[in-house]
């Protein structure tokens, strides 16, 4: 099958799904077991940690800061299911974390990948053209050692490569176990995908970068015919690793009558970066009900949406009235269906947001919901005066 390129082909999602060959073929040279953690550089990590505990149901499990001998920053490690977030603040005006936060606002610095061999992964990636952030280093404490290296991703974002088979501690050497507000699990299980926004004309270059450097393969694409509304448009391509534990959609803005929501992100983030993190649940109705009860704000779904998708609803196990009450979106492909809902941005800048997703067979990204989603985003964009 010839390689499909973004821009070049408009294909139905079910045709795309047939081209996937999940998890087969020889072992990759860079073996990635999953997302190790996602680190956010923020203005006030102590308060952000409270928000992610109270609003999203994370558990505080580890901490590093002045009290643990780390003089220049404070980091809080939050866990729910297999999802691990690290929230870090710098403690002086010239600190790199503080400068990053001043430029970008709160945002994702590091999409850290869990690898079986960090030295080999780093050497392979760099030999294939990755930009070095830091060389492999061994960090150790009484609980063992980890090997961590890092390479550049889009903009100021990086990928740490974390090898932790020799470590039994709470997170990484230097962190101490911490107790937070107590268990408030919202049912979030793992990171389904992480989406990056890049500048107009850069999407294919980043797709090729991930294919070349990591050996990722093309997974799906959507062009501006799929993803456009009356006003704005974007193009998107998805790359995935060998075992599909890492799926990375990459978006770029497309010409529309008004400013693309991707361009709005780029303008406010001052460049490329992580747009949204999709977190998987086994019970999206319960998860969204919990998050809404905790005060998480979601994109609005009009009642008319459920009339428009009536053909997708037969065979859906969930109570449609409950889906409606929670505003949950439904899409189908030939493998099954999926349920999803997007939060509003979690900062004052219209940048990072979250997706809650439950897959019932479907491997898609909710193409059938793009229009409904974007019209909702555009209502907010217009309210900000940015459409
Ligand atoms: Fe998504």
Residues 169 and 196 occupy one common structural domain: no
For 75, the token pair is: 């980091």
- Please write the tens of the pLDDT for every residue from 216-256: 999 877 766 666 666 668 888 999 999 999 999 999 998 87
How far apart are the CA of 52 and the centre of ligand 1, in A?
19
Looking at residue 227, what is its pLDDT?
Answer: 65
Ranges assigned E (strand) in 211-368:
217-222, 233-240, 247-254, 273-281, 329-333, 336-342, 353-360
Co-location of 101 and 202 in the same domain: no
Provide the mean pLDDT of the chain.
89
Q: How far is the CA of 378 from the centre of ligand 1 (A)?
A: 17
Q: Which domain holds residue 210?
A: 188-384
Q: Assess if residue 183 is contained within a domain.
A: no
DSSP string for residues in 31-72? -EEEEEEEEEE-S-HHHHHHHHHHTT--EEEEEESGGGT--S
**In whole angstroms, what is the distance from residue 339 CA to residue 189 CA?**
15
Q: What is the pTM of this model?
A: 0.90
Question: Is 245 a domain residue?
Answer: yes
At 240 the pLDDT is 94
Strand pairing class (273-281; 353-360):
parallel
pLDDT of residue 230: 62
For residue 195, the CA-to-ligand 1 centroid distance in Å is 7
Q: Which long-range contacts (CB under 8 A, 24 or more apart) does 320-323 make?
A: 322/285, 323/285
Q: Are residues 155 and 200 located together in one domain of the fold?
A: no
Distance 262 CA to ligand 1 centre (A): 14
CATH code for position 161: 3.10.180.10
Q: Is residue 334 part of a domain?
A: yes
Q: Which of left, alpha, beta for 27 (phi over 0: left; psi -120 to 50: alpha)? A: beta
Give residue 365 CA to ligand 1 midpoint distance, Å: 6
The pLDDT assigned to 387 comes to 82
Domain boundary among 119, 149, 177: 177
* Same domain assignment for residues 18 and 45: yes
Does residue 114 belong to any structural domain of this protein?
yes
Q: Which of 131, 154, 177 is the last residue of a domain?
A: 177
In a domain, 182, yes or no: no
Centre of ligand 1 from the C-alpha of residue 384, in Å: 23
Question: How far is 252 from 200, CA to CA, in rounded Å?
Answer: 5
Cα angle 265, 49, 295 (rounded to 5 degrees) comes to 70
Q: What is the DSSP letter of 377?
A: H
- Using the mean position of ligand 1's atoms as its centre, give its distance from the Cα of residue 45 in Å: 25
Tell me, yes or no, whether 163 and 235 share the same domain: no
Q: Are residues 329 and 291 in the same domain?
A: yes
Q: How far is the CA of 69 from the centre of ligand 1 (A)?
A: 38
205-213: which pairs have CB atoms within 8 A and are 24 or more residues apart? 206/154, 206/250, 207/6, 207/237, 207/239, 207/250, 209/129, 210/239, 210/248, 210/250, 211/239, 212/128, 212/129, 213/125, 213/128, 213/129, 213/130, 213/151
Please report, in tens digits, the pLDDT of each residue of the chain (387 residues total): 333 333 333 333 333 333 344 445 556 789 999 999 999 999 999 999 999 999 999 999 999 999 999 999 999 999 999 999 999 999 999 999 999 999 999 999 999 999 999 999 999 999 999 999 999 999 999 999 999 999 999 999 999 999 999 999 999 999 999 999 987 899 999 999 999 999 999 999 999 999 999 999 998 777 666 666 666 688 889 999 999 999 999 999 988 777 888 999 999 999 999 999 999 999 999 999 999 999 999 998 887 788 878 888 888 999 999 999 999 999 988 889 999 999 999 999 999 999 999 999 998 888 778 776 677 777 788 888 988
Of 177, 207, 236, at which residue does a domain stop? 177
Same domain, 210 and 139: no
Pairing of strands 158-163, 107-115: parallel
364 and 232 within one domain: yes
How many domains are contained in the chain? 2
d(CA 206, CA 102) in angstroms, rounded, equals 26
68 within a domain of the structure (yes/no): yes
CA of 125 to the centre of ligand 1 (A): 26
Residues 170 and 106 in one domain: yes
| pLDDT for res 228 | 65
Same-domain pairing of 279 and 371: yes
Residue at 298 is within a domain: yes
The pLDDT score that the predictor gives to residue 26 is 59
Residue 352 lies in a domain: yes
In terms of C-beta density within 10 A (0-12 exposed, 13-18 middle, 19 or more buried), how is residue 4 classed?
middle
Mark whether 36 and 67 lie in a shared domain: yes
Same domain, 236 and 357: yes
């Amino acid at each position: 099958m010839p390689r499909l390129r973004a821009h070049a082909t408009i294909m139905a999602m079910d045709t795309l799904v047939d081209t996937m060959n999940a998890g087969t073929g020889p072992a990759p040279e860079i073996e990635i077991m999953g997302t190790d953690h996602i680190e956010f550089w923020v203005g006030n990590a102590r308060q952000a940690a409270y928000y992610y505990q109270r609003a999203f149901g994370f558990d505080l499990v580890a901490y590093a800061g002045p009290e643990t001998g780390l003089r220049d920053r404070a980091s809080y490690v939050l866990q729910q299911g297999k999802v691990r977030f690290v929230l870090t603040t710098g403690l002086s005006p010239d600190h790199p974390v503080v400068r990053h936060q001043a430029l970008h606002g709160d945002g994702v610095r590091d999409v850290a990948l869990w690898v079986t061999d960090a030295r080999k992964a780093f050497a392979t990636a760099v030999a294939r053209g990755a930009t070095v952030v830091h060389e492999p280093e061994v960090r150790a404490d009484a609980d063992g050692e980890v090997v961590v290296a890092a390479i550049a991703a889009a903009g100021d974002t990086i990928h740490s490569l974390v090898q932790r088979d020799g470590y039994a501690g709470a997170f990484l050497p230097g962190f101490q176990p911490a107790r937070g507000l107590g268990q408030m699990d919202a049912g979030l299980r793992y990171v389904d995908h992480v989406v990056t926004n890049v500048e107009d004309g850069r999407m294919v270059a980043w797709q090729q970068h991930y294919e070349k450097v990591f050996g990722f393969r093309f997974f799906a694409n959507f062009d501006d015919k799929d993803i456009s509304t009356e006003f704005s448009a974007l193009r998107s391509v998805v790359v995935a690793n060998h075992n599909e534990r890492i799926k990375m959609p990459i978006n770029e803005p497309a010409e529309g009558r008004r400013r693309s929501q991707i361009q709005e992100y780029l303008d406010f983030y001052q460049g490329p970066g992580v747009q949204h993190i999709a977190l998987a649940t086994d019970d999206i109705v319960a998860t969204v009900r919990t998050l809404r009860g905790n005060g998480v704000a979601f994109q609005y779904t009009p009642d008319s949406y459920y009339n428009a998708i009536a053909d997708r609803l037969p065979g859906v196990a969930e109570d449609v009235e409950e889906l409606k009450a929670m505003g949950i979106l439904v899409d189908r492909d030939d493998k099954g269906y999926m349920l999803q809902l997007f939060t509003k941005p979690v900062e004052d800048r219209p940048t990072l947001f979250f997706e809650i997703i439950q897959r019932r067979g479907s491997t898609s990204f909710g193409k059938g919901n793009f229009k409904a989603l974007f019209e909702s985003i555009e209502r907010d964009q217009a309210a900000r005066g940015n459409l």
